């Protein structure tokens, strides 16, 4: 059971970073189209709506993968503690502190909220493109 959950956790962690990476590529493509000077109003609205939709889909999927990965990590850490094993699935800050590795202030800020914020910025830009296309 432990090996199955550990493998599943790795899978969720991989997907948690693959989804936003692919979405960022799509958003960059849409932004290039949406901000091009020769794009018509309807195309700008369509591109903006796609950017908003991709943002919502990406953030939702990422949050689900993050929740599932975190749940598996906590289960694994508790199982390791209950069995008297070395706890290797603790949070990164806990593991680093246990090993005496200092954590720089910038690193303490979790990467995931940065990705959510960055992808959300594309959603806001998409919304601005929709408004510009409608009012334009």
For the chain, give every domain's residue range. 2-135
Helix (H, G, I), strand (E, B) or coil at 39: coil
Identify the DSSP state of 102.
-
Q: What is the pTM of this model?
A: 0.80
Q: Given its phi and psi angles, is residue 102 left (phi above 0), alpha (psi -120 to 50 degrees) or beta? A: beta
Question: How far is the C-alpha of 103 from the C-alpha of 82, rounded, in Å?
Answer: 28
Can you tell me the mean pLDDT for 58-84?
94
Helices (H), the chain: 2-34, 41-82, 92-98, 105-108, 111-135
- The yes-or-no verdict on residue 81 having pLDDT over 90 is yes
Return the beta strands (E) in the chain as ranges. Answer: none
pLDDT category, 60, cuts 50, 70, 90? very high
- The yes-or-no verdict on residue 106 having pLDDT over 80 is no
């Amino acid at each position: 059971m432990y090996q199955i959950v550990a493998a599943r956790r790795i899978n969720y962690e991989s997907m948690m970073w693959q989804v936003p990476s692919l979405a960022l590529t799509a958003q960059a493509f849409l932004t290039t189209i949406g901000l091009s000077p020769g794009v018509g109003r309807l195309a700008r609205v369509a591109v903006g709506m796609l950017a908003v939709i991709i943002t919502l889909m990406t953030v939702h999927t990422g949050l689900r993968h993050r929740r599932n990965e975190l749940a598996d990590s906590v289960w694994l850490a508790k199982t390791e503690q209950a069995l008297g094993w070395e706890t290797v699935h603790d949070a990164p800050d806990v593991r680093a502190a246990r090993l005496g590795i200092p954590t720089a202030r910038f690193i303490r800020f979790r990467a995931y909220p940065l990705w959510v914020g960055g992808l959300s910025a594309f959603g806001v830009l998409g919304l601005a493109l929709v408004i510009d296309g409608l009012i334009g």
